[in-house]
Amino acid sequence: MAEAFNANVAAAKDALNAFIVATPEKALEAAKATDEKRAKGEPLGKMGGVPIGMKDLFATAGVQTTAASHILEGFTPEYESTVSRKLWEAGAGMLGKLNLDQFAMGSSNETSYFGNVVSPWRRNDGGNAPLAPGGSSGGSSAAVAARLCPAATGTDTGGSIRQPAAFTGITGVKPTYGRCSRWG
């Protein structure tokens, strides 16, 4: 599964610009660890090898975290956000860091230093103009809608999960305030 999604991410890189950085090795490491646990009859974890996209607002140890801003380009934290740490502990693998509106301040995904995210959907009027996936979690919604990943993280203060999910025809859930840690 990780290999198939890694191939999808690579194939859609230029077309959608959903990922700021791909981490195929992280997805494969989680898949391998899950396969080894399965072979030993050990519990796999709730996310056992599932490859996901990580919104580039969450700190990920050893992987660049930019919040889609030029001023953070090259920042590689030595620590893990609580959300990502819990996902890795549950066995999830990371396909890469997803594009977003810079510092999650936008609703179109057109403010990223790394370029606009494009919706995988196309216009129904015959035109070729790209469609915005919404924001700020537009990279997340575009990646899931295009089947680049089976799931992705997002953040939502004023609709930043729900609006892009609606724009791209997927389901997005805003966790109850306080349910997910905001650390990292």
List pLDDT tens digits, range 139-149. Answer: 999 999 999 99
Q: Which of 107, 137, 141, 160 is catalytic?
A: 160
Q: Which of 84, 119, 136, 137 is catalytic?
A: 136
Q: What is the mean pLDDT of residues 76-85?
A: 97
Q: Which residues in the chain belong to E strands, given as ranges?
A: 19-22, 51-55, 93-98
For residue 22, is pLDDT > 90?
A: yes
- Is 55 part of the annotated catalytic residue set? yes
The CATH architecture annotation of domain 2-168 reads Alpha-Beta Complex (3.90)
Q: Which of 55, 81, 84, 97 is catalytic?
A: 55
Domain boundary assignment for the chain: 2-168
What whole-number distance in Å separates Cα of residue 102 and Cα of residue 174? 20
* Residues 117 and 138 sit within 8 Å (Cβ to Cβ): yes
pLDDT digits (tens, 9 = 90+) for 123-161: 888 888 999 999 999 999 999 999 999 999 999 989 999
- Is 160 part of the annotated catalytic residue set? yes
Distance of CA 54 to the CA centre of its chain: 3
For residue 165, is pLDDT > 80?
A: yes
- List b or e across 26-57, with b for residues whose CB sees 16 or more CB atoms inside 10 angstroms: bbbbbbebbeebeeeeeeebebbbbbbbbbbb
**Phi–psi pair at 95, nearest 5 degrees:** -80, -25
pLDDT, mean over the chain: 95
